[in-house]
Every structure is written in structure tokens, then in C-alpha cells.
Amino acid sequence: MEEHIAVKLNKVIHQKSRLGIMSILVASEEAEFNYLKEKLNLTDGNLSSHLSLLEKEKYIKIKKRFVRKKPKTSCQLTEKGRQAFEEYLDNLEKVIRSVPKD
């Protein structure tokens, strides 16, 4: 008999690019804009919009500073972001386990 469990995945994190951003930030303490852009194959505009959404949800903190007169943007995961990510992972596991193997 198939086991059905209603699992609600966090839509903000579930999107592939944002999931990538969150994964990198969860593994590090801080990542720069250009690093995220390169690793996730995103354009400046795309990445900015994803970061803005994550910042709006208070999942990440965006820091801007100048290094040798050049602007540098870096991101950090907040405690709320870490919790949301852990919850998302738990739910992912539930989704995977909820469908029986053939």
C-alpha cells in the first residue's frame, strides 16, 4: 500500500538557484557575489534578484565593502536561514521516503 504524506517544501529555498546559494552559504561562513555567480552559472541580474528575495526573507545578510577602491559584495547565512535550510532538508528526506520503492 502506498504511503502518502503531505510535505510542504519551502518554495523560497526549493528553487534551484536559491537552493544552490543556500547550500554554498551553509557550508561556508561567507561567500562573495562573484563566487556564487561563477559556481551557479548565473548572470549578475539573476543572482541579485535571488539574493534580494533571500534577504527579504531574512535568510541571508548581504554585506558591501570596498577593497582597493573596488566594491565587493558578500553574503552570510542568518540563523533563521540555517534553520529554514535544515527544515527544508528534513522535508526533502520525507518526500524521498514517502514513496515506496518498486
Partner 1 sequence: MEENERQEALENLELIKELVLQTKKHMGSYGGGWISIIWGVFCLIGVAGQRLFIPQGALMGVWWTALIIIAIFASFLVNRIYIKAQPVRAKHEYMRYFLRFWLPLILLGYTLTLFIALTPSLSNHYIAIVMLLIVSTGYLIIGLLFYRGILYMGSIGYVCTTLSAIYFLEYSDIILGSLFGVGLIITGFVINKQWKNT
Q: Which of 14, 56, 58, 63 binds partner 1 (CB under 8 A)?
A: 14
CA–CA gap between residue 2 and residue 64 (Å, rounded): 50
* Alpha-carbon span 93 to 58, nearest angstrom: 24
Touching partner 1, residues 43-102 (CB under 8 A)? 89, 92-93, 95-96, 98-99
Q: Using the rule CB under 8 A, give the single segment among 15-23, 43-51, 55-63 that binds partner 1.
A: 15-23
- In the list 30, 44, 87, 90, the residue contacting partner 1 (rule: CB under 8 A) is 30
Q: Which residue has 535544515 as its cell numbers?
A: 86
Residue 30 or 87 with smaller CB distance to partner 1 = 30
List the one residue out of 24, 27, 23 whose CA is nearest residue 14. Answer: 23
Alpha-carbon Rg for the chain in angstroms? 16
Q: Is 1 in the site for partner 1 (CB under 8 A)?
A: no
